[in-house]
Structure 1
Amino acid sequence: MAHQVAAENLQRPFTITIVYKGLPENGALNAMHGPKALEIISKYFREWAWEVLGIRLSDDDAKSLQDGKTVRLTQQIKPYYDAFYELVKEYTRIYSQSMRQQQ
């Protein structure tokens, strides 16, 4: 929208409003948070798996994470990913709650 306004007249002012609806009450991180959120979670999971568990992901597991297809993770990796994901959800819930309390 801003691009369209600026393309018409670069001198004309405009306002951009961002509406943040927060996380769902259950703290789920899903497609509504966009592929970037899943990309970030996947990146940190790979690092966590290596640094904490000493596990290097197979090429197939790395590709599944990159594609956002966590259901395709191997039986060895999937439980660790699920546990990591639950930790991220809980951290996000706590952080979101603390930010609301500060307002």
Structure 2
Amino acid sequence: KREGDNLILEKRIPFSQACLGTRLEVETLEGKKLKVKVPAGVQQESKLRLKGHGLPAGPLGGRGDLLVRIAIQIPKKLTREQKKAVRRLAELGL
């Protein structure tokens, strides 16, 4: 998706990675692979900015940014063990 000279890339991560943090690999328009640190406690729709990795910004030679939008995956179905783990987390206030 484009927003001015910026590009927006959506990355889906599981609930556990949203809570604990993770590192994601993203690819730029040029095919370059970059590592992005996702902080612990990241929220749904948060945007992580990679400066200068968006679209060319006109005749002055600058570039927009690549924004990585976080989408937290919530599973539709859970195994019995997963349900037990989620109930335990709920008991702990999470």
Determine if the TM-score, normalized by the shorter chain, exceeds 0.5.
no
More strand, by proportion: 2
Structure of higher RCO (CA pairs closer than 8 Å, 6+ residues apart): 2
Question: TM-score, length-normalised on structure 2?
Answer: 0.29
Structure with greater helix percent: 1
